[in-house]
Amino acid sequence: MTSDNLSDLSRQICEVSDIYADRFGISRSPSWFLAKLTEELGELVAADLKCEGNGRTAEQSAEGLVNSRAEEAADLFAHLLLFCRDRGIDLETALARKWFKYLGQDTERIPGTETESQSRQR
């Protein structure tokens, strides 16, 4: 995913969240963003348990269960982007520093990262 794609997704998700908050009179404090992440993670766990046969499905079809799990994963991802946006976290840079450093030479193309050999040269 390129920076432009992640930025575009974040912007669009923020727009939808603003519409939702306005429509339902939701005041989004800094703690609200973290609470929503926790709530959405719980909903994803519940959907996944149902898909794996470890939860009550209320006669939902297998396809419906899989779709619900995917939608809950999307909710969690969207709220993670909202949380990062609220806290001023540059997720792409953080991913590059924390995760992509293990990709070896490929990390030279990612801003904010350096390979292990480059780090040792300092």
Of the candidates 68, 57, 13, 55, which has an alpha carbon nearest to the alpha carbon of residue 36?
13
Of the candidates 4, 86, 99, which has an alpha carbon nearest to the alpha carbon of residue 37?
86
pLDDT at 52 over 90: yes
Is there a single domain that holds both residue 60 and residue 27? yes
How far apart CA 42 and CA 64 sit, in angstroms, is 18
CATH of the domain at 47: 1.10.287.1080
Is there a single domain that holds both residue 62 and residue 26? yes
Contact (CB, 8 A) for 79 and 40: yes
Question: So what's the pLDDT on residue 118?
Answer: 56
Of the candidates 14, 27, 15, 22, which has an alpha carbon nearest to the alpha carbon of residue 79?
14
pLDDT at 23 over 60: yes
- Residue numbers of the domain that contains 102: 90-122
The total number of structural domains in the chain stands at: 2
Confidence of residue 105 (pLDDT cuts 50, 70, 90): low
- CA 116 vs CA 11, 63, 64, 122: distances in Å: 34, 45, 45, 10
Question: So what's the pLDDT on residue 15?
Answer: 97
State mean pLDDT over 89-104. 90
Is there a single domain that holds both residue 31 and residue 79? yes
Is there a single domain that holds both residue 101 and residue 82? no
Is there a single domain that holds both residue 75 and residue 112? no
pLDDT at 114 over 80: no
Is there a single domain that holds both residue 26 and residue 53? yes
Is there a single domain that holds both residue 80 and residue 28? yes
Is there a single domain that holds both residue 13 and residue 61? yes
Of the candidates 18, 34, 14, 38, which has an alpha carbon nearest to the alpha carbon of residue 26?
18
Is there a single domain that holds both residue 100 and residue 55? no
State mean pLDDT over 98-107. 77
Helix axes 3-24, 91-98, angle to 10 degrees: 130
